[in-house]
Structure 1
Amino acid sequence: MGALGVGEVLAGLSLQTSVEILTLYPVFLMLIPGLMDLRGDVYGSFGYRLTTALHIGETEPRILSKYNLYNVLISYSVTIIASIIIALLAYIISASLDLSSPDLLTLLFISLASSTIIYLILTPVTTFSIILLFKTGRDPTDFVATIVTGVGDALTPFTFITVSSLFQALSPSSEAIIVASLSTIAIVSVLIVWRTGGLRTLLENTASSVAASFGSSLGGLSLATRTAILARLPLILGSLPAFNALIGAGMGVLGNSLNVKLHLGVENSLHKYVDDSKTIAIATFIAVLVSMLIVSGLTLTSIQSVGISVLIIGLSFPVLFLISSLLTFYLTQVSFKMGWNPDNLVFPLMTTFVDLNGPLIVSSVASFFV
Structure 2
Amino acid sequence: MKFPVVDEYQLHLFLIGLLALFASAIAALVAGTYLGSVSEILAFLPGLLILVPPSINMRGSISGVLASRLSSSMHLGEFEINFSKRSVLGSNSRVSLAISILTAFILGFFAYIISYSFGFTDISATDYVIISVLSGVVSSLIVMGFAILIILLSYKKGIDLDMVGSPSVTTAADLVTIPVLVLTALFILGFPADVRNIFMIPVLIFFIISIILAFFSGEEIKSISKEMLTLLVPLSVICIFAGIIYAENLEKLIAFPALLILITPFTGGCGSIGGILCSRLATGIHMGEIQPKLIPQKEVLWHFLMTYLYVCALMPFLAVISDYFALLTGSESPGVATMLIISVVSGIIVITFVNFVGYITAGLSFMKGFDPDNFGIPVITSFIDLIGASVLVSIIILFI
TM-score category (smaller protein): 0.7 to 0.9
Distance 1:249 1:182, change over 3 A: same
Is the Cα–Cα contact under 8 Å of residues 69 and 374 in structure 2 kept in the other structure? no
Distance 1:309 1:85, change over 3 A: same
Displacement of 1:125 after TM fit? 3.2
Distance 1:66 1:172, change over 3 A: farther
Displacement of 1:155 after TM fit? 0.7
Counterpart residue identity of residue 234, structure 2: A
Is the Cα–Cα contact under 8 Å of residues 9 and 294 in structure 1 kept in the other structure? no
Is the Cα–Cα contact under 8 Å of residues 135 and 181 in structure 2 kept in the other structure? yes
- Percentage identity across aligned positions? 22
CA distance in 2, matches of 1:36, 1:345: 17
CA distance in 2, matches of 1:252, 1:181: 33
Q: Tell me if 1:243 matches 2:273.
A: no
Displacement of 1:358 after TM fit? 1.3
Counterpart residue identity of residue 356, structure 1: L
Distance 1:94 1:124, change over 3 A: closer
Tell me the equivalent position of 1:204: 227
Q: Tell me if 1:170 matches 2:191.
A: yes
Q: Tell me if 1:286 matches 2:309.
A: no
1:50-75 deviation digits (Å, cap 9, x = unpaired): 55667767775245666466544423
Is the Cα–Cα contact under 8 Å of residues 131 and 184 in structure 2 kept in the other structure? yes
CA distance in 1, matches of 2:307, 2:165: 24
Counterpart residue identity of residue 169, structure 1: G
CA distance in 1, matches of 2:41, 2:196: 20
Distance 1:200 1:237, change over 3 A: same
CA distance in 2, matches of 1:264, 1:296: 44
Superposition CA RMSD, Å: 3.6
Tell me the equivalent position of 2:56: 36
Counting only pairs closer than 5 Å after superposition, residues 48-127 of structure 1 correspond to structure 2 as: 48-49=68-69, 60-63=80-83, 67=87, 70-127=91-148
Tell me the equivalent position of 1:219: 242
Displacement of 1:119 after TM fit? 2.4
CA distance in 2, matches of 1:66, 1:273: 34
Displacement of 1:229 after TM fit? 0.9
1:200-259 deviation digits (Å, cap 9, x = unpaired): 222222222223322222112111112211121222121112222222333445566778
Is the Cα–Cα contact under 8 Å of residues 65 and 377 in structure 2 kept in the other structure? no
Q: Tell me if 1:364 matches 2:382.
A: no
1:23-68 deviation digits (Å, cap 9, x = unpaired): 2222222211000000122222334455566776777524566646
Displacement of 1:366 after TM fit? 2.5
Tell me the equivalent position of 2:17: none
Tell me the equivalent position of 1:145: 166
**Secondary structure at the counterpart of residue 196 of structure 1:** coil
Residue 130 (structure 1) aligned to one of 151, 154, 160: 151
Q: Tell me if 1:190 matches 2:211.
A: yes
Displacement of 1:158 after TM fit? 1.1
Structure 2 stretches lacking a partner, 5+ long: 1-20
Query: What is the count of residue pairs matched by the alignment?
Result: 370
Counterpart residue identity of residue 209, structure 2: V
Is the Cα–Cα contact under 8 Å of residues 84 and 90 in structure 2 kept in the other structure? yes
CA distance in 1, matches of 2:82, 2:364: 40
Residue 316 (structure 1) aligned to one of 330, 346, 355: 346
Tell me the equivalent position of 2:65: 45
**Secondary structure at the counterpart of residue 298 of structure 2:** coil
Distance 1:229 1:112, change over 3 A: same
Distance 1:353 1:123, change over 3 A: closer
Tell me the equivalent position of 1:10: 30
Is the Cα–Cα contact under 8 Å of residues 53 and 385 in structure 2 kept in the other structure? yes
CA distance in 2, matches of 1:195, 1:278: 43
1:316-337 deviation digits (Å, cap 9, x = unpaired): 3343334444545666677788
1:269-326 deviation digits (Å, cap 9, x = unpaired): 9998876665343123234324423532442334645554444334433433344445
1:88-133 deviation digits (Å, cap 9, x = unpaired): 1111112112124211222222111211111232333333443354
Counterpart residue identity of residue 45, structure 1: V
**Secondary structure at the counterpart of residue 230 of structure 1:** helix
Residue 251 (structure 2) aligned to one of 228, 239, 243: 228
Distance 1:269 1:49, change over 3 A: closer
Tell me the equivalent position of 2:46: 26
CA distance in 2, matches of 1:255, 1:194: 27
**Secondary structure at the counterpart of residue 166 of structure 1:** helix
CA distance in 1, matches of 2:125, 2:50: 14
Residue 157 (structure 1) aligned to one of 151, 160, 178: 178
CA distance in 1, matches of 2:240, 2:173: 16
Deviates more, 1:35-44 or 1:23-32: 23-32
CA distance in 1, matches of 2:31, 2:238: 19
Structure 1 stretches lacking a partner, 5+ long: none
Distance 1:128 1:311, change over 3 A: closer
